[in-house]
Amino acid sequence: MNALVLINKPVDIRSTQCVAMVRKQLYGEKVGHSGTLDSTASGLLILLTGKATRLSDYIMSLPKIYRAVIQFGAETDTCDYSGEIIESKGFANLDLKKLLDSLYKFSGWRLQSPPPISAVKIDGKPAYKLARSGQNPEMKARPVFFREINIISPYNCESGTLELEISCGRGTYIRSLAHDLGQITGCGAYIKSLVRISTGNFTLMTTNLFSRL
């Protein structure tokens, strides 16, 4: 079978587990992915089978859209809700105007450092393995592209949360965006929830379908 398999991945399931499950269903057929999702994120995951695996690089280069709820007031070691809180500052003194103004500065190309808990390889080893072994991996900033950032729900002064829709290019870490916004506001921030809603013209509306090539 040469196909694209569109999956609505739930939280707490790794992308590699999805690959393994599809491979099992296809009795060992070649299966790959076109960009992973963190186990703490949900949404569109595109798998490729057979000769369609040759399209992996092309699909990974397509623009992606995410819905993210950002929690202000603390930092975690993973930059999302699954990590340990390493600093708690509270959000009572958050400057809302400064936060909103900063969002516009993220449009276009900018340098971004991946989170230490990530699959980025350093000297051939995944950064997350180095970090979890007690080392402090040096995460080099790299260029990423933000097409658009829109506010979906206004900033909630009671909970310290803000919901955004983010259109971005390949290699962008939304967890790093949350971390950077926390640094700008001085309150700290992390991802409370993250959903990938589209990759190119593929959306959650078309998940669980096979697109024959």
Distance CA 73, CA 188 (A): 5
The reply to whether 12 belongs to the active site is: no
Contact 65, 84 (CB under 8 A): no
The closest alpha carbon to 137, from 153, 118, 151, belongs to 118
Mind giving me the DSSP string for 80-146? BTTS-EEEE--STT--HHHHHHHHHTTSEEEEEPPPSSSS-EETTEEHHHHHHTT-------EEEEE
Q: Are 179 and 190 in contact (CB under 8 A)?
A: yes
Q: 38, 95, 101, 180: which one is catalytic?
A: 38
Tell me the C-alpha to C-alpha distance, in Å, between residue 134 and each of 65, 127, 139: 34, 11, 15
What distance in Å separates the CA atoms of residue 45 and residue 207, rounded to the nearest whole number? 8
How many Å apart are CA 60 and CA 62, to the nearest integer?
6
Q: Please list the active-site residues.
A: 38
